[in-house]
Structure 1
Amino acid sequence: MEGGTIKFPSFLLLISLLSIAKLGICKAEEDSLPLNDDVLGLIVFKSALHDPFSHLNSWSEDDNSPCAWEFIKCNPRNGRVSEVSLDGLGLSGKMGRGLEKLDDLKVLSLSNNNLTGNINPELGLIYSLEKLNISHNNLSGNIPTYLANMTSIQFLDLSENSLSGPVPDNLFENCKSLRFISLAGNILEGPFPTTLSRCTNVNHLNFSKNLFSGDPNFKEMFQSLTRIRTLDLSNNELSGQVPFGISAMHNLKKVHLQGNHFSGSMPVDIGFCSHLSRLDFSDNFLTGGLPESIQRLSALSFFSLLNNLLDGDFPQWISKMSSLEYLDFSGNSLKGSLPLSIAEMNALKFLGLSNNRLTGNIPTSLALCTGLSVIRLSGNAFSGSIPKGFFDMGLDELDLSRNELSGSVPSGSSKLFESLQVLDLSGNNLTGGFPAEMGLYSKLRYLNLSWNSFQSRMPPEIGYYQNLAVLDVRNSGLTGSIPGDICDSGSLRILQLDENSLTGPIPNEMGNCSSLFLLSLSHNSLSGPIPKSISLLKKLKILKLEFNQLSGEIPQDLGKLENLLAVNISYNRLVGRLPVGSIFQNLDQSALEGNLGICSPLLKGPCKMNVPKPLVLDPYAYGNQGGNENQDGEPSSRSSRSFMQHRFLSVSAIVAISAAAVIALGVMAIALINANARRRLALVDNALESMCSSSTRSGSVVAGKPIWFDSKSSPDWIRYSLESIFNKAAEIGGGVFGTVYKASLGAEGRVFAIKKLVTSNIVEYPEDFDREVRVLGKARHQNLIPLRGYYWTPQLQLLVSDYAPEGSLQTKLHERSPSAAPLTWTTRFKIVLGTAKGLAYLHHSIRPPIIHYNVKPSNILLDDHMNPKISDFGLARLVTKLDKHVTSNRFQTAPGYVAPELACQNLRVNEKCDVFGFGVLILEIVTGRRPVEYGEDNVVILSDHVRVFLEQGNVFECVDPSMGKYPEEEVLPVLKLALVCTSLIPSSRPSMGEVVQILQVINTPVPQRMEPL
C-alpha cells in the first residue's frame, strides 16, 4: 500500500477486465438469442385465451426464457420450447397466433378445454410438430388445408369438436410419419379424402360419430393401410357393401363399423384378419348368414351383429371361438337351435341372442360357461324348462322373457344371491310357486315374472329386496294379500300387480314407497279404503286401482300429488268427493264410472257423502247429490231448475276462466299494437328487398361467406343463386322468423330449404350469430331437420337446411287432395311419438336446452317413410329478445298453439311452452281438426271441445273418421295425455321426457318389459 492506495498486480487487473467484458458479451448474446421468439410467441398466444383459474400466471413477458414456466418443456440442448401441454385447464377463447414462432415445438396439447373459433391455419407453419392434440373443445369451421404442411406429424387428434364440412383432400399428402389419426365426434361429412391411402404407417384411425357418407371403398382406399390396428368408422352415414379385401389389413385388431347403413352380406374373407380382437357390425342392414371364415378368428373377444337383418342359421361352429367374451346377435332373424357345444366357450361373459327365431331347448350345458354374467335370450321360441344350472351361476342379468318355457323357477344358490341384478322371466308358461330363496337376492333391482301361471300366494320375501326398483308380476296367478313390508326398502319405482287374485286391503305401509313412479293394482279383489298414506308418494305419476272392491271416500290429500299424470279408480265401491287439485278435476268418466257414489257431474248415479250434510254449502254442487227428492225418488222440478241455475264451478273451471281472461286482455293489448307492428314489418320487408336487390346489383352480397356444416354444395352458390332463390315461385312457406324458399344449389343440383330471416331483432354481430347457429347445427336427431349451413351479412341472414319433398304434416292433415289416402292411426301415432322424441332431445340432451316456441303441423315435416322431422327449432336463439312484435305475431300465425304464459311477460318461459303446443298438436292429429275454428256465431277451441266430449263419455266422436279403424285402448290415453299437456298451469304439464315414456307404455304390447328409469 502506497499513499493509502491498494496496488493490484497487473495480471489480476487484466483478468478482471476480461471477465467483465465476457459477461457483457454473454449478456448481449443472451438478449439476441431466439429464445425471445418463444417468449413472444407464447405471450401472444396467451393473450387470446381466458384463464379463469390463473394457471398461466407464471407466463411473464419479462422473462428471457419460458423454460421455467408451468406446462412448458424445453429441449435441453438448445433451450428452445419443445412441448406445450395445457390439457384440462378450463381455458376458453380462441386459438390465436404466436405458436408459429416456436420453431422447435414437437408437442402441442390443448385438449379438454373450451376453445372456440376456427383452428389457426398457421399451425401448419410449425414444421417440427410431431403431436397435435386439440380434442374435446368447441372448435368449429373447416379443417385447414395448411395442416398438410406438417410433414413430421405422428399424432393428430381433432376429435370431439364442432368441425364441419368435408375433410380437405390434400390433408394427408405428407402423412408418412402419421401413426394416430382421430377426427371423431365432429360434424364432418362427405367422402373420405383419397390421400388417406398414403398413410401407410398409421395404426389407429378413428373417423366415428360424424356424417361421412357414401361407399368408403375399402378395397382401394384401405388395403394400402397394412399396419392399421384400430379402424373405427362407426356412427356415420356410410352405405354400400363391406367388400372383400378387408383382409388386406392383416394387422387389424379392432374394427368398429356399427351405426351406419351398410347392406348386403358380410365379407367372406373377414376371417383372415387373424389378429382381430373386436368386431362390431351392429345397427346396420346386413343380410344373409355368417361367413364360416369367422370361426378362424381365434383371438376375437368382442363380436356384435346387434340389430341387422341376418336370417341364416345360427352357426353351430360358434363354440370354436374360445376367446369370445362378448357375443351379441340380438335383433336379427337367425333360425335353428343352440349347439350343445356352446359350453366350450369358457371365456364368455355376455351372451345376447334376443329377438331372433331360435327354437328348441336352452342347452343345460350353457351353465358350464362359468364366466357368464349376462344371458339375454328373450323374444325367441325356446321351449322346455329353465336350466337349473343358471341359478347356480354368478349372473348379473338373466332375461328369458317372451319364450315358451314351462315348469317352475329353479331354486337359487348363494352365488346367484350375491350377484343377480336383473331377472326377467315374463311371458312364458311357468307354474309353481316362487322359491323361498328368491328373497335372498340382495342386489336385485329389476324383477319381472308377469304373464305366467304361478297360481301361488304373494311371496312375503318380496320386502327383503333392498335394491329393487321394478317389480312386475302382472297376470301371474297370484293369490293372498299384498305384504305390508313390500316397500321396506324404499327403492321401488315401478310396482305392477295387475290382473291377479289378490285380496285384502292395500297396506298402509304403501306410503313407504317414497320413490314410486308407477303404482298399478288394477283387476284384483282388493278391499277396504284407499290408504291416506299414498298421498306421501310425491313422485307418483301413474295410479291404477280400477276393477277392485275398494270402498270409502278417496283421501283428499291425494290432490296434493302434483306429479300425477294418470289416475283410474273405476269399478270399485268408492263414494264422496274427488280430491281438489292434481289431475282429479280433469278425470273423465271412464276413470270414475262403476263406483257406488262418487260425486262428479260426469256420473249419473247418486252421490254419497260420509261427512255431515251441513258441510256442503251448495247442496246441488255435485249435480248428482241425492237431496230434494220427491216420494218417488225423482228429483223435484225445483231441484232441476236449481241445478241448472247453480252449476258447480270447480277449481279447474275457475282457473280456466281466469286464464281465459288473462289471454283476452293480452289479445286486446296485442290488437292495439297490431297496426304499428304491421307497419314496422312492412318497412322491414321493404328495406330487406331494397337491400337485397341493391346488394345483388352492386355485388356486395358476395362479400358474405357461406358457412357449411355438412353440405357438398359449392361454397360459391350464393354468387350465382341469390336472384333465383328470392322469387315468389320458389317460396314454400313462411312465419314470424322469416320466409322459406326452395333452391337447387351447387353443381350437383341438391335441393335445400333456405330461410331468409327477418333481420329485425336478429343478433347483430357475426360471431354471436355464428355461435348460436352452430349450437343448432350440432343438434342431430332422427326426428329433426338438420341445419346444413348459413350465410350472414349485416343486411341478409340465411339458414340452409334439408328440403322435405313429402311436405308437412299441415298438408297431410288439412290440405290433402281428394285422391290422397288419409293418415292411418299407425302413421299418426308414429308422428306423435317421433315428434315427442325430437322435442325431448332438444329439451333434455342439449345444454342449455333448445326451446322450439313454435310447435305446429307446418313445422313437422315428413320423410319418405312418414317419419316426422321437426323444423325451425331454436330460431328464438337468434332473436335478441322475445319482444311484443314477436309475441303478437306468434298469436296471429299460430292461434291455439301458443301457451297462455307467453302472453304474460312476467312469467318465466321454459320448455313447458313446447309441451303445450305438442298437446294441441296431438289433438289436431287425432281429431283432424284445427286448433281454433271460427263459426258464424262462435269460436271452437279444440282442447276445450275434446275435454267436454271426454267428460260426457263420448270422446270417440271427436276422432277423425277418415282414418278408419283404430284401437280405442290407444286413442283414449293419447287424448288424455294431450289434455294434460295443454293444462293452463305450466307446472301441471309433464316434461317431454315423461311424455315419451308414457307414449311408449301406451303403444307397448303385452307382455312388456319396462326398464328401470
Structure 2
Amino acid sequence: MDFLRFLALSLLGSIAILLHNCIALDAVSPQLNDDILGLIVFKSALHDPSSLLASWNEDDDSPCSWEFVKCNPINGRVSELSIDGFGLSGRIGRGFEKLQHLKVLSLSGNNFTGNLSPELVLPPSLQRVTFSRNRLSGRIPTSLISMSSIRFLDFSDNLFSGPIPDEMFANCSSLHYLSLASNMLQGPVPNTLHTRCLYLNTLNLSANQFSGSLDLWSLTRLRTLDLSKNAFSGYLPQGISAIHSLKELKLQSNQFSGPLPTDLGLCLHLSTLDVSRNRLTGPLPESMRLLTSLTFLNIGFNTFSGELPQWIGNMTSLNYVEFSSNGFTGSLPLAMGGLRSVKYMSFSNNKLSGNIPETLMKCSELSVLKLEGNSLNGRVPEGLFELGLEEINLSQNELIGSVPVGSSKLYEKLTRMDLSRNRLEGNFPAEMGLYKNLKYLNLSWNNFKAKIPPEMGLFQNLNVLDLRSSDLHGSIPGELCDSGSLGILQLDGNSLIGPIPDEIGNCVSLYLLSLSHNNLSGEIPKSISKLSKLEILRLESNELSGEIPQELGILQNLLAVNISYNMLTGRLPVGGIFPSLDQSALQGNLGLCSPLLKGPCKMNVPKPLVLDPNAYPSQMGGQTSRDKPSQYSNSSPHHVFFSVSAIVAISAATFIALGVLVVTLLNVSARRRSLAFVDNALESMCSSSSKSGTATAGKLVLFDSNSRGSPNWVSNHEALLNKASEIGAGVFGTVYKVSLGDQGGRDVAIKKLVKSNMIQNVEDFDREIQILGKVKHPNLISLKGYYWTAQTQLLVMEYATNGSLQTQLHGRLPSSPPLSWDNRFKIVLGTAKGLAHLHHSFRPPIVHYDLKPTNILLDENFNPKISDYGLARLLTKLDKHIVNNRFQSALGYIAPELACQSIRVNEKCDVHGFGVMVLEIVTGRRPVEYGEDNVVILTDHVRYLLERGNVLDCVDPSMSEYSEDEVVPILKLALVCISQIPSSRPSMAEVVQILQVIKAPLPQTIPQGF
C-alpha cells in the first residue's frame, strides 16, 4: 500500500508540474507575440529603401534574433531597439506600446515626419529615448513618456513647435540628460524643469525660440547648460556658484543684459564659457581669474567695458579667446605669452592701445590672431611672423614700420593676411612670394612708397590682392597673374604709371579688376577680353588713350564698367554692357563717341582703297604716261578705279550678302509654316471658352523654336482656363501650369493678363512684348511667346518647379525643411544679378516695378528666376484699378517716392524692393506684421536691432546653421538699399559686386561701411 501511495503521489506531482508549465507557456507566448506584433506594426508604417529590416519576419516565434533588436536574457522580452542613421522614413505609430519591457529606444538620424499622436504612450519601462535628427513636427505630447523612469531624453534637430507645458516635467526625478535643441519651441522654460528635475547633469535647449528670464541655478548637478540661440532676456542672477560641477556654460546669441554674476569664478570646473552676442555690460567680475580650467572663452559682441583684465594672460589652459566687439580699454597684457596652448585669439574692435607685446611669439600653438579695429601702435613684432599662423588681421590700427619677413612656418600655413589701414611703410619683402597657401592679402591704405614686386605673382593660391591707396608707384608687373587664381585685384588710388600689362589676360579667374585713380597710360589691352568671368571693371581717372577694344563686347558677365576721366576715343564696343553704360561711366573722355556725351568724338576709321589713274605710270618698256595710256585707265579721267584686291573683296561681300538673304527668306518661310498650325491650335483652344463658341482671330508669336510643337501641344485645351491648373495670381493676371505635347511633355506657365485698357491693338502689344522676348538671363524667367486677341492676351513663360519664394518663406508645409542659408544666399545673389541685367543691359533700363517674393520663382536647384519683369513698360496705360491693387498687394515693398500722386518709376524703386526682400529672406518675417496691439515694420525692426548691436536676433530661427560673416553685411546692405533718398541707394551692379565679395571665402574684402 505504501508503494502504491508513493506512486500515486509521484504521478500527481508530475501532472501538477506539467500543468504549471503549460499555464506558464500560455502566459509567456502572448507576451512574445506582443513584441513581434508591435515591431511589425512599427515596420509596416515605414519606408525602408535599403531593406535593413528584412530580418523582421512576423512568422518568427521571437524577435530576439532580428537585427537591431536586443532582448533581456532572463525573460526573453525586447529591451532595446536602436535604428540610427538608416534613412528610414514614415510616421511613428503606436506599435511601440506593445513593447512593455523596452528600456532603450533610439531612432535618430532618419527621416521620420509628422506629429506624434497625443494618444501615443511609450512603455513606462523606458529609460533612454532618442528621436534626434528627424523631421518630426507639432507639439510634444505631455503623456508620451513616463518621466518617472526616463533618464535620457533627446528630441533635438526636429521641427517641434509650441510651448512646453509645466506638467511635462512634473515627475522627472530620474532625468539626467535632456536635449530639445534645434527645434522651433517657444515660450518660457517650464518652472517644473528647475524645481523637479534636480538630477539633471546635461540640459540643452539651444536653437529654439524660448524666452523669458533665467532661473536654473537650482539645478546644482548640472555639468552642461546650453541655452544658446534663443530669446532669453533679463539679468543673469547671482548664485551660479551653487552649480559646483558645471563644466560648460553656453548662453550666446540671446538678449541677456547687465553684468555677469560676480560669483561666476567660483565654478572652478568650468572649461567652456560662451556668453557672446548678448547685451551684457560692465567690467568682467574679478572672480573669473580663478577659472584656471577654462579652455574656451567667448565674450565677444557685447558691451563690456573697463580695462582689459591683465589676468587673462595667466589662464594658461585657454586655447580659444574671443573678446571682440566690446568696449575694453588699456593694453594687451605682457603675460599673454603664457598662453602656450592658445590657438585662436581675437581682441578686435575694442578701444585698446599700446604696443603689440613681443611675448606673443611664445604662443607657439597660435593659429589665428585678430587685433583689428583698435588703436594699437608701434611696429609689428617680427616674432609674430615666426609663428605658424594661418590668419593674421592687424588692420585699422596705428601701426608703423615695414611688413616683417616671414618664417618657413608662416610660408607654409598662412592663408589670410590683413594689415590694411595702418601707417606701414617701406618695400615689400621679396620673400612674400614664398607664401604657398595665401588666399587673401590686404595691404591697402598704408604709406609704403614702394613698387609692386614681381614676386607677388608667385602666390599659387591667392584669390584677393588689395593694395588700394598705399602710395605705390612704378608700373604694374605683368607677373601678377602668373598663378591664374586671382579673383579680385584692387590697385586703386595709387601713383602707378605705364600701360596696363597685356599679361592681365592671364588672370582668367578675375571677377573684379579695379585700377582707378592712378596715372596709367596707353591703350586698354585687348587681352582683357579673355577674362570671361569678369563682372566689375574700373579704370576711371587715369590717362588711358586710344579706342576701347571692340573685343571687350564679348564679356557677357560684365555688370559694371567705369572708364570715365581718361583720354579714350572712338566708338564703344557694340556688345555686352557697353551700349547701356550711363553718362557717369563715360564722362571725361572728350574723344569718346556716345550720344550721352557732349562735344566731338574722334574716329580712327581707315580710308577706302581708291586709286587715281593720273598718279600711276603708264609707260611699258620705257614709255611715259603721255606716250601710252594705262591698262587700268577709263575714257573719263574723273572715274574712280579699284584695285584687284578691292574688287575681290567687294565680290565676296556681295556673294555673302546674297547667301544671308536667301537663308533668311527660307527661315522666315519655315517659321511661318511652323507657326500657322500652332496658331490655329491655340486659337481653337481659346475660342472654346467663348460664349459664342466661334473661333476668335488671334495672333500667336513664339520666340523660342523649342516651344513649337504639334497642333495638340496643350494636352488638355481646357486646362488653360481651368481653376485646377491655376498656380498663382497677381496684379497683372492669373498664371496657369500647362503641359506641352512636345518632347518629354514639358511644362510651361501661361499668364492670362488682366482685362484692362492698357493695350489697344496688336501692334502696341507686339512692340512691347517683343522687347521682353529678347531678355535672356539665367535669373530671369524666359518669355517664350504670346497669344493675342482683342479679348485675351496670354504670355507663354518658363515654368519653375519649386514655386515662389513667397511659398518657401511663408507657405511651407511643416513636413518641408526650411530654406538653408546657402539657398537663401543663392536666391539673394541670383535675384541681384537678374535685376542688374535688366537695369544695365538695356537702354532705357527695364524696371521691374513689382519686385516681391511672389515674383521670385525657384527652379529645381533653388536658383531664383524673376518673373513679371518689364510689365511696367505698360505702366502709362494701366488703369487706376491695377495701380491701386499694386499698392495694396505690395505693402512694405513700395519705395517711399512712389507714394505721391505723380508716379515716377526708375531703377531705384527696384533697389528699394530688393532691400526689403533681402530682409524678408534673412529674417523669415513679412515686411509688415500685425499683432494684437501693435504693428511691426520689418525695416524699422532690423535697423533698431542693428543699432543696439543685436542684429543676429532677427535671423530666421528656422535656420539651424548660417554664416554670421555673411548675414551681418547682407543685412547692412539691405538697409542701404531701402534708404529714403533714392540717390543714396546703390545700383544693382554695385549690389552684385558687394554680394560677390561677401560670398567669397574672404569676408574682409567687403567695401568700407558694410
TM-score between the two structures when normalised by the length of structure 2: 0.63
SS in structure 2 at match of 1:598? strand
Picking from 202, 208, 212, the partner of 1:210 is: 208
Quick one: percent identity of the two aligned structures?
54
Post-superposition offset of 1:159: 0.7
Q: Check conservation: 2:123, 2:145, Cα contact below 8 A.
A: no
SS in structure 1 at match of 2:385? helix
SS in structure 1 at match of 2:570? strand
CA distance in structure 2 between the aligned counterparts of 1:356 and 1:302, rounded to whole angstroms: 20
Structure 2 counterpart of 1:473? 467
Picking from 276, 288, 296, the partner of 2:290 is: 296
Q: Does residue 48 of structure 1 match 2:89?
A: no
CA distance in structure 2 between the aligned counterparts of 1:109 and 1:39, rounded to whole angstroms: 18
Q: Deviations over 1:946-985 (max 9, x none)?
A: xxxxxxxxxxxxx66xxxxxxx6x54x437658xxxxxxx
Change (3 A) 1:813 1:129: farther
Q: Deviations over 1:253-297 (max 9, x none)?
A: 010000000111111110000000010010011111111100000
Q: Deviations over 1:356-392 (max 9, x none)?
A: 1111111112222222111111111111111111111
SS in structure 2 at match of 1:511? helix
Post-superposition offset of 1:472: 0.5
CA distance in structure 2 between the aligned counterparts of 1:479 and 1:597, rounded to whole angstroms: 28
Post-superposition offset of 1:307: 0.6
SS in structure 1 at match of 2:413? coil
> Counterpart amino acid of 1:354?
S
Structure 2 counterpart of 1:432? 426
Aligned counterparts, 1:274-353, within 5 A: 274-353=268-347
Change (3 A) 1:816 1:572: closer
CA distance in structure 2 between the aligned counterparts of 1:811 and 1:604, rounded to whole angstroms: 33
Aligned counterparts, 1:769-788, within 5 A: 772=813, 775=816
> Counterpart amino acid of 1:487?
C
CA distance in structure 2 between the aligned counterparts of 1:343 and 1:992, rounded to whole angstroms: 39
Structure 1 counterpart of 2:749? none
- Tell which deviates more after alignment, 600-609 or 444-453: 600-609
CA distance in structure 2 between the aligned counterparts of 1:851 and 1:776, rounded to whole angstroms: 19
Post-superposition offset of 1:828: 11
Aligned counterparts, 1:486-497, within 5 A: 486-497=480-491
> Counterpart amino acid of 1:383?
N
SS in structure 1 at match of 2:185? strand
Q: Does residue 242 of structure 1 match 2:242?
A: no
Picking from 559, 567, 570, the partner of 2:561 is: 567
Post-superposition offset of 1:31: 9.3
Q: Does residue 974 of structure 1 match 2:971?
A: no
Q: Does residue 73 of structure 1 match 2:55?
A: no
Q: Check conservation: 2:160, 2:183, Cα contact below 8 A.
A: yes
Q: Deviations over 1:619-675 (max 9, x none)?
A: xxxxxxxxxxxxxxxxxxxxxxxxxxxxxxxxxxxxxxxxxxxxxxx9xx99x9999
Aligned counterparts, 1:381-780, within 5 A: 381-612=375-606, 772=813, 775=816
CA distance in structure 1 between the aligned counterparts of 2:993 and 2:445, rounded to whole angstroms: 31
Consecutive unaligned residues in structure 1, runs of 5 or more: 1-13, 616-665, 685-761, 764-768, 787-806, 818-826, 853-857, 871-917, 929-958, 961-967, 979-989
Q: Check conservation: 1:275, 1:297, Cα contact below 8 A.
A: yes
CA distance in structure 2 between the aligned counterparts of 1:254 and 1:809, rounded to whole angstroms: 44
- Tell which deviates more after alignment, 182-191 or 149-158: 149-158
Q: Does residue 835 of structure 1 match 2:884?
A: no
Structure 1 counterpart of 2:190? 193
Q: Check conservation: 1:833, 1:996, Cα contact below 8 A.
A: no
CA distance in structure 1 between the aligned counterparts of 2:976 and 2:410, rounded to whole angstroms: 49
CA distance in structure 1 between the aligned counterparts of 2:284 and 2:28, rounded to whole angstroms: 71
CA distance in structure 2 between the aligned counterparts of 1:810 and 1:674, rounded to whole angstroms: 37
Q: Does residue 271 of structure 1 match 2:312?
A: no
* Number of equivalences: 708
Structure 2 counterpart of 1:799? none
SS in structure 2 at match of 1:835? helix
Change (3 A) 1:771 1:837: closer
Q: Does residue 147 of structure 1 match 2:147?
A: no
Aligned counterparts, 1:926-945, within 5 A: none
Structure 2 counterpart of 1:621? none
Q: Check conservation: 1:479, 1:500, Cα contact below 8 A.
A: yes
CA distance in structure 1 between the aligned counterparts of 2:345 and 2:691, rounded to whole angstroms: 68
> Counterpart amino acid of 1:100?
E
> Counterpart amino acid of 2:210?
F
Aligned counterparts, 1:757-906, within 5 A: 772=813, 775=816, 808=892, 810=894, 835=916, 837-838=918-919, 841=922, 861-863=938-940
Which protein shows a greater Rg?
A: 2
CA distance in structure 2 between the aligned counterparts of 1:79 and 1:547, rounded to whole angstroms: 87
CA distance in structure 2 between the aligned counterparts of 1:444 and 1:463, rounded to whole angstroms: 12
Change (3 A) 1:372 1:674: farther
Q: Deviations over 1:910-969 (max 9, x none)?
A: xxxxxxxx9xx999966x7xxxxxxxxxxxxxxxxxxxxxxxxxxxxxx66xxxxxxx6x
> Counterpart amino acid of 2:208?
N
Picking from 350, 358, 380, the partner of 1:356 is: 350
CA distance in structure 1 between the aligned counterparts of 2:570 and 2:898, rounded to whole angstroms: 44
> Counterpart amino acid of 1:835?
V
CA distance in structure 1 between the aligned counterparts of 2:348 and 2:595, rounded to whole angstroms: 50
Q: Check conservation: 1:355, 1:378, Cα contact below 8 A.
A: yes
Post-superposition offset of 1:161: 0.8
Q: Does residue 117 of structure 1 match 2:114?
A: yes
Change (3 A) 1:258 1:73: same
Alignment root-mean-square deviation, CA: 4.5
CA distance in structure 2 between the aligned counterparts of 1:976 and 1:468, rounded to whole angstroms: 25
Q: Check conservation: 1:148, 1:173, Cα contact below 8 A.
A: no
Change (3 A) 1:324 1:67: same
> Counterpart amino acid of 1:111?
S
Q: Check conservation: 1:187, 1:778, Cα contact below 8 A.
A: no
> Counterpart amino acid of 1:105?
L
SS in structure 1 at match of 2:182? coil
- Tell which deviates more after alignment, 451-460 or 406-415: 406-415
CA distance in structure 1 between the aligned counterparts of 2:900 and 2:244, rounded to whole angstroms: 57
Structure 2 counterpart of 1:100? 97
Structure 2 counterpart of 1:638? none
Post-superposition offset of 1:540: 2.0
Change (3 A) 1:156 1:436: same
> Counterpart amino acid of 1:206?
N
Consecutive unaligned residues in structure 2, runs of 5 or more: 1-10, 610-681, 693-720, 727-802, 805-809, 829-851, 854-890, 902-907, 928-934, 952-970
CA distance in structure 2 between the aligned counterparts of 1:166 and 1:680, rounded to whole angstroms: 43
Q: Check conservation: 2:543, 2:566, Cα contact below 8 A.
A: yes
SS in structure 2 at match of 1:485? helix
SS in structure 2 at match of 1:223? coil
Q: Deviations over 1:341-366 (max 9, x none)?
A: 22222222211011111111111122
CA distance in structure 2 between the aligned counterparts of 1:600 and 1:866, rounded to whole angstroms: 42
SS in structure 1 at match of 2:478? coil
CA distance in structure 1 between the aligned counterparts of 2:225 and 2:900, rounded to whole angstroms: 49
Q: Check conservation: 2:892, 2:916, Cα contact below 8 A.
A: no
> Counterpart amino acid of 2:375?
A
> Counterpart amino acid of 1:259?
S
Structure 1 counterpart of 2:639? none
CA distance in structure 1 between the aligned counterparts of 2:116 and 2:260, rounded to whole angstroms: 39
Structure 1 counterpart of 2:957? none
Post-superposition offset of 1:298: 0.8
Change (3 A) 1:561 1:81: farther
Q: Does residue 61 of structure 1 match 2:58?
A: yes
SS in structure 2 at match of 1:268? coil
Change (3 A) 1:779 1:401: closer
CA distance in structure 1 between the aligned counterparts of 2:80 and 2:993, rounded to whole angstroms: 49
